[in-house]
């Protein structure tokens, strides 16, 4: 079931909170942007179901990488859906190598939280620069 319609300003505010929390490595604030019944789909693995599984994935990821930048190039809203094009840059904690990749995502908002998220990017781009 689709959530209520979102407006661009509230969607952008949520994405800005998410970006600031991620860049600040504030896991609690980051996870607060997502619904308990979250489903996440990426090109690199099976879907992640629920906030507990997603929290474990986020914590594992942040042990391995350090967020460097997160830029939104475009953001569009269609009812409860938000489509975004972005570029993310990371540093590998073990050796400082940089990884930058560009992608697209679509998500469904439920209230002020993300309930469903799907990302599109080239997994080969995740190799360090």
Number of domains in the chain: 1
Question: Which CATH number fits the domain that encloses residue 77?
Answer: 3.10.450.50
Residue 73 covered by a domain: yes
C-alpha 33/C-alpha 52 separation (Å) is 13
Residue 81 covered by a domain: yes
**129 or 116: which leads in pLDDT:** 116
pTM greater than the 0.85 cutoff: yes
Q: Are 107 and 82 in contact (CB under 8 A)?
A: yes
Joined together, the tokens standing for residue 25 give 């490595």
Q: What is the pLDDT of residues 24-80, one digit of tens each?
A: 999 999 999 999 999 999 998 899 999 999 999 999 999 999 999 999 999 999 999
Joined together, the tokens standing for residue 86 give 């972005």
DSSP codes joined into one string, 16-72: HHHHHHHHTT-HHHHHTTEEEEEEEEETTEEEEESHHHHHHHHHHHHHHEEEEEEEE
Residue 3 covered by a domain: no
Residue 108 covered by a domain: yes
Q: Can you give the residue range of the structural domain that contains 43? A: 8-126
User: Residue 92 — left, alpha, or beta (φ > 0 → left; ψ -120 to 50 → alpha)?
Assistant: beta
């Amino acid at each position: 079931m689709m959530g209520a319609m979102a407006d661009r300003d509230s969607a952008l505010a949520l994405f800005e909170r998410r970006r600031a929390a991620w860049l600040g490595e504030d896991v609690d604030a980051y996870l607060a942007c997502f619904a308990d019944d979250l489903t996440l789909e990426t090109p690199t693995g099976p879907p992640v179901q629920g906030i507990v599984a997603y929290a474990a994935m986020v914590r594992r990821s942040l042990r391995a990488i350090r967020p460097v930048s997160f830029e939104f190039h475009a953001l569009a809203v269609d009812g409860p859906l938000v489509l975004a094009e972005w570029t993310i840059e990371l540093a590998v904690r073990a050796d400082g190598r940089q990884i930058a990749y560009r992608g697209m995502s679509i998500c469904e908002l439920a209230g002020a939280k993300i309930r469903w998220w799907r990302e599109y990017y080239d997994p080969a781009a995740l190799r360090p620069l």
